[in-house]
Chains A and B, each alone.
Chain A
């Protein structure tokens, strides 16, 4: 056993990177759930985003256009879910699960012919001055731009939900759609927009895996990351900044577990991997504020 070989600075820095895909997907889902919609299709949207991003990046040679394509692909897939659940009033749980199935299949079909090709590289972007700071520099400021984008989206979402009028409307729709409707807000329009935002974020998260982390197209590249994103939203009790904490906890358990293994500590890996999920349940039970948005998962029809 050699715990001294674990470098906490590098550990934290790699945590930032490891958490980014689930963080992106989770912030999108958070907005969707705050609008009162439960979309279980995150995994399907992530992988569709991954393949769309990869195809665009390969054909244009630009990873940035790839990320844009991924967001678009994810949003379009999410729109199917939106139309089904919001306009045609189908059950959200069932539709979300169907979306995952559809997305996994669609991504595999689109990705045929892209196996074994390497994506154009995404350069790191150390932030000038800040990246030279001791400890904090390497942990926070020497990453690729998407890592910063993820945190920016969290900050923006937090501000949007808290301070903007549109954010207030979105929360009202999520808490009580009848009342929001009575006040004259367009419940369905708000929810459709939220769902598309969720799809776009999930797509970005998937593309981060396919363009930066792996960086290749292989079927099943997301390997369940979308489901973890769902868990993190709950863990965070639907608060954007706590999401960051949740993503680092979930990512952190994995990274720490791997670190301890590499340092020669014998571990019951399966039991350790359960820990974040059990912690999430505990959070759900303990936190009074851990209440889900009032209208979560319910269909809305104006004539009711």
Chain B
């Protein structure tokens, strides 16, 4: 095997070259699907990378490649990082899944972490965030804040993660306001400011006074601000520049605790393959400050819910919950299992319309 001998050779060369230093920094690579300047998904991953650097300073060296298309380039870039001696590589988009698993087969000594996927291997972990926990809080606040009883929801693609969010937000809005209804727009994009702005304007024109978004740009916030009496929630990043109004709270993707933990595990030699789905308790889903635009008692009850989720006392999908057609999904007191949630392709009772296929 030519490749193996070459690899062994370079390994020796590396060992010789770095032998002079007492301790060789742990190298951590990151593959991003968008530019670090997108202000949303990739931006938050990069913030977490910076947090890893800050935490370990000289003991860790990080590097990244941004705007990697989810095709053949991904595999090349991941391999390139492994060749350059990365000890741990985070691949931060669903579309990198197959590429990550492929490369991992060829580099058994390198650890891989793939975000939002479901495939794992001895040296590949999967990690994802329970964004629906944050959606429960949004629904709880939105249901009480709305005066028109119409809540607009901008979805990206009809995939389980987004459907979980819609169901979770809706259940908790209905819980506090039986008259509330959801208007859902599928934007068919994760990031297209002009289209998101239009979607938000349309929802507002149709009477929505709360906009929830599962797309990454701040355009819906701006549209709400222009409309004047509409509230919004930040998505992916805090979007604090729109606080205290229209943005009254936010879901923040906070990858830093997980990245620091996994980097530490590699340094300690205790890294093991895992498949985690973290949420508010572990700090992967952060809830941005609830501003004073929200009345104190609503804010207080939202905080109670946050704490209940944080303590593991409350699961947002706790029965009784029915399917859209009225048949029973979860009996009183039952809690949804992760497998059903991960493949969620149905609306709960009360939501109108079909999920596009």
Alpha-carbon distance A108/B35, docked complex (angstroms) = 9
State whether A225 and B206 are in contact (beta carbons under 8 Å apart), knowing that A218-B37, A261-B186, A264-B353 are contacts in the complex. no
Which of B13-51 touch A at CB < 8 Å?
34-35, 37-40, 43
A214 on the B face (CB < 8 A): yes
Alpha-carbon distance A225/B195, docked complex (angstroms) = 10
A262-B186 in contact (CB<8A): no
Alpha-carbon distance A289/B352, docked complex (angstroms) = 47
B330 on the A face (CB < 8 A): no
A116-B184 in contact (CB<8A): no
Which residue on A lies nearest to B185, using beta carbons?
Answer: A261
- Distance of A113 from chain B, by nearest CB (Å): 9
- Distance of A251 from chain B, by nearest CB (Å): 8
Alpha-carbon distance A85/B242, docked complex (angstroms) = 44
Residue numbers in A under 8 Å from B197 (CB-CB)? 18, 213-214
Residue numbers in B under 8 Å from A259 (CB-CB)? 202, 205-206
Alpha-carbon distance A219/B193, docked complex (angstroms) = 10
**Choice from A7, A262, A269 contacting B203 with Cβ under 8 Å:** A262
Residue numbers in B under 8 Å from A255 (CB-CB)? 198, 202
Which of A39-96 touch B at CB < 8 Å?
none
The size bracket of the interface on A is 35 or more
B205-A220 in contact (CB<8A): no
- Distance of A121 from chain B, by nearest CB (Å): 9
**Choice from A6, A213, A223 contacting B206 with Cβ under 8 Å:** A6
- Distance of A303 from chain B, by nearest CB (Å): 44
A221-B193 in contact (CB<8A): yes
Alpha-carbon distance A255/B199, docked complex (angstroms) = 8
**Choice from B38, B202, B242, B354 contacting A219 with Cβ under 8 Å:** B38
0/1 string, B259-275, CB within 8 A of A gives 1: 00000000000000000
Residue numbers in A under 8 Å from B201 (CB-CB)? 14, 17-18
Residue numbers in B under 8 Å from A270 (CB-CB)? 188
Alpha-carbon distance A118/B225, docked complex (angstroms) = 12
The size bracket of the interface on B is 35 or more
B319 on the A face (CB < 8 A): no
A117-B241 in contact (CB<8A): yes
0/1 string, B168-192, CB within 8 A of A gives 1: 0000000000000001111011011
Alpha-carbon distance A116/B217, docked complex (angstroms) = 10
B198-A225 in contact (CB<8A): no
B39-A254 in contact (CB<8A): no
0/1 string, B318-357, CB within 8 A of A gives 1: 0000000000000000000000000000000000111010
B222 on the A face (CB < 8 A): yes
Residue numbers in A under 8 Å from B237 (CB-CB)? 116
Alpha-carbon distance A224/B219, docked complex (angstroms) = 16
- Distance of A146 from chain B, by nearest CB (Å): 14
Alpha-carbon distance A261/B185, docked complex (angstroms) = 6
Which residue on B lies nearest to A107, using beta carbons?
Answer: B37
Which of A242-265 touch B at CB < 8 Å?
254-255, 258-259, 261-264
Alpha-carbon distance A122/B191, docked complex (angstroms) = 23
A223-B35 in contact (CB<8A): no
B193-A262 in contact (CB<8A): no
**Choice from A108, A223, A263 contacting B195 with Cβ under 8 Å:** A223
21 A-B residue pairs with Cβ-Cβ distance under 8 Å, sorted by A, are: A5-B206, A5-B207, A7-B206, A10-B205, A14-B201, A18-B197, A18-B198, A108-B35, A112-B37, A213-B193, A214-B197, A216-B241, A218-B39, A218-B218, A220-B34, A223-B191, A223-B192, A223-B193, A261-B184, A261-B186, A266-B356
| Chain B residues in the interface with A (C-beta under 8 A) | 34-35, 37-40, 43, 152, 183-186, 188-189, 191-195, 197-199, 201-203, 205-208, 217-219, 222, 237, 241-242, 352-354, 356
| Chain A residues in the interface with B (C-beta under 8 A) | 5-7, 10-11, 14, 17-18, 21, 108, 111-112, 115-118, 209, 213-225, 254-255, 258-259, 261-264, 266-270, 273
New contact pairs (12) apart from A218-B193, A269-B356, CB-CB < 8 Å = A6-B205, A14-B201, A115-B39, A213-B222, A214-B194, A215-B222, A220-B35, A223-B189, A254-B198, A255-B198, A261-B186, A263-B206
